[in-house]
Amino acid sequence: MVRSALVGVDSGATKTEAVGIDMASQVCVFTSESSSNPSVVGIEKASTVIASAIEKVLAGLSYEKPTPYLVAVGTAGVVSKNYADALRKRLAELAGIPVDRVVVFEDVIAAHASVFLLDDGVVGILGTGSCVYGDYAGHSIRVGGWGHLLGDEGSGYRLGLKSLREVLECLDSLKECSDLATLIARSMGFSSASDVLSYVYYSENPKTAVASVATAVMKAYKSGDKTAARIVEGEIEEFAKQVAAAIRKIGVYSPKVGFTGSVYRENRELLKHLLKKKLEELLGLEVEIFEQRVRTSCGAVIAGLKLRGDSATLARALNTIEKCCLY
State the pLDDT at residue 37: 78
**Percent of the chain's residues with pLDDT above 70:** 97
One domain, residues 133 and 87:
no
One domain, residues 244 and 286:
yes
| Residue 244 within a domain | yes
Cα–Cα dist 5/3, whole Å: 7
pLDDT in tens, 120-169: 999 999 999 999 999 888 888 999 988 888 989 999 999 999 999 999 99
85 against 233, higher pLDDT: 233
Distance from first CA to last CA of the chain, Å, rounded?
Answer: 28
pLDDT in tens, 50-106: 999 999 998 888 866 557 889 999 987 666 788 888 889 998 999 888 999 999 998
Name the packing angle between helices 226-250 and 156-171 (round to 10°): 150
pLDDT in tens, 164-193: 999 999 999 999 999 999 999 999 999 999
One domain, residues 83 and 153:
no
Mean pLDDT for the stretch of residues 294-320? 92
One domain, residues 52 and 136:
no
| Residue 118 within a domain | no
One domain, residues 131 and 83:
no
One domain, residues 275 and 299:
no
One domain, residues 307 and 184:
no
One domain, residues 73 and 145:
no
**In total, how many domains does the chain have?**
2
One domain, residues 135 and 100:
no
One domain, residues 257 and 307:
no
Burial 260-270 (b: 16+ CB within 10 A, else e): bbbbbeebeee
One domain, residues 132 and 266:
yes
pLDDT in tens, 95-127: 888 999 999 998 899 999 999 999 999 999 999
* 3-class secondary-structure state, position 266: helix
Write the CATH number for 249: 3.30.420.40
Nearest residue to 75 via CA among 117, 47, 115: 47
| Residue 71 within a domain | yes
**Percent of the chain's residues with pLDDT above 90:** 64
Q: Which amino acid is at 16?
A: T
pLDDT in tens, 1-31: 345 789 999 987 778 999 999 888 888 999 9
Kindly list the distances between the CA atom of residue 139 and the CA atoms of 44, 121, 234, in Å, as whole numbers in the listed order: 33, 11, 30
* Residues of the domain holding 91: 5-113+294-324
